Amino acid sequence: MLKLYGIKNCDTVKKARQWLAQHEQPYVFHDYRSDGLDMALLESFEQRSGWKNMLNKRSTSWRQLSDEQKADLNRDKALQLMLETPTLIKRPILDTGDQLLIGFKEEHYQQLL
């Protein structure tokens, strides 16, 4: 079963959910805010895709971080920031079981599903 991770009021997450529904792809939705987020989940994503692919440096949340928070960024520091501020994670993350798709691009969903 597909599992989609994100925040329910995110426009990109809404597009992904709509696409999955239109293409009759059953999935489970995990909202970081209501269903929670822990370091084990972040580390499992990081092992499969790398923290640099997960970190959304174009987000408002990133721009609101202090220069000190952004400085000397490494895996551990980035994961800690994402844990504290889940809106720093690119959305959505679709787990197919075999791979993770980060972000929503219709052509990627069509190829994979």
Amino acid at residue number 10: C
CA distance 15 to 23: 12
Catalytic residue among 2, 3, 7, 10: 10
> Of all helices (H) and strands (E), which one includes residue 100?
strand 100-102
Nearest Cα to 79, choosing from 33, 46, 57, 107? 46
10 counts as catalytic: yes
Catalytically active residues are: 10
